């Protein structure tokens, strides 16, 4: 295959969770620019429709579907709806996540624990299982999990989130064996990115990081890695965790 075609997603169908803002939105738009048609899902339908309109303005097809990925009863209808509209899913991006902080571990109640684990791990597990089975039984595909450097550098105030993302990292390895060789499963481990959530960070955290590239990432800087893992360029890459964190120590 010629190098110019390695990142071409023409004719591909991608489902992006948490696709209405932040890194998910950037990935969805990046995939659309590379030729893919996109299914966008998040909890807020209006926000999904807004991104779907942006994708359609690029000349691609798009659908918007509301889904709370922490609720298993909402996941199967989502998958069925995408298959009904497009006939298949070639790329699944498990991007939806949440990372509320706790003042102390003892103050974290069970409902909060279950909610964080549900969105960051339980939902991606179920969605990957449903889509991965169909991919493996068809023409294959790529599953991309969006984790966090917090999974390998956990701190007490986001311990639950870190644990859920560490579980997602482990799931990547398991899924790569469960559905390989036709389905490749990889993780992107982002560092500090200037998404919507960064607006609540202290100014010093937004200006400088401890990385070899001592700044926060721009949302657009996640796209090339996602394209690599979604496309034929990564045909021999699976079970990998790819850090995109500016070289955090």
Q: Which residues are catalytic?
A: 161
Residue 37 is given by DSSP the state E
> Which helix (H) or strand (E) element contains residue 85?
helix 72-86
C-alpha–C-alpha distance, residues 189 and 222, integer Å: 10
Could you give the C-alpha distances from 128 to 44, 60, 115, 173, 234, in angstroms and in order? 21, 24, 19, 12, 19
C-alpha–C-alpha distance, residues 88 and 219, integer Å: 28
Cβ–Cβ < 8 Å for 152, 110: no
Q: Which of 7, 22, 19, 1 is nearest to 199 (CA)?
A: 22
| Helix (H), strand (E) counts: the chain | 8, 7
Distance of CA 103 to the CA centre of its chain: 27
SS3 33: helix
First to last CA, the chain: 36
Could you give the C-alpha distances from 132 to 49, 174, 198, in angstroms and in order? 26, 12, 32
């Amino acid at each position: 295959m010629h190098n110019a075609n390695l990142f071409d997603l023409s004719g591909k169908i991608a489902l992006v969770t948490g696709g209405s803002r932040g890194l998910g939105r950037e990935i969805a738009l990046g995939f659309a620019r590379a030729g893919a048609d996109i299914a966008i899902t998040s909890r807020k339908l209006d926000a999904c429709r807004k991104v779907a309109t942006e994708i359609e303005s690029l000349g691609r097809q798009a659908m918007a579907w509301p889904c709370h990925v922490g609720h298993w009863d909402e996941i199967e209808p989502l998958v069925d709806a995408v298959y009904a509209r497009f006939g298949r899913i070639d790329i699944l991006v498990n991007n939806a996540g949440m990372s509320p902080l706790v003042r102390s571990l003892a103050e974290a109640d069970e409902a909060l624990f279950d909610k964080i684990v549900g969105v960051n791990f339980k939902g991606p597990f179920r969605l990957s299982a449903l889509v991965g089975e169909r991919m493996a039984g068809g023409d294959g595909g790529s599953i991309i999990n969006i984790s966090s450097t917090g999974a390998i550098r956990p701190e007490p105030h986001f311990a639950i989130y870190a644990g859920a993302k560490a579980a997602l990292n482990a799931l990547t390895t398991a899924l790569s064996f469960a559905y390989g060789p036709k389905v490749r499963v990889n993780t992107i481990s982002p560092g500090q990115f200037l998404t919507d959530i960064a607006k609540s960070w202290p100014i010093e955290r937004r200006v400088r990081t401890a990385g070899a590239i001592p700044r926060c990432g721009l949302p657009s800087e996640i796209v090339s890695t996602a394209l690599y893992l979604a496309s034929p360029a990564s045909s021999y890459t699976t079970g990998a965790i790819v850090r995109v964190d500016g070289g955090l120590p």
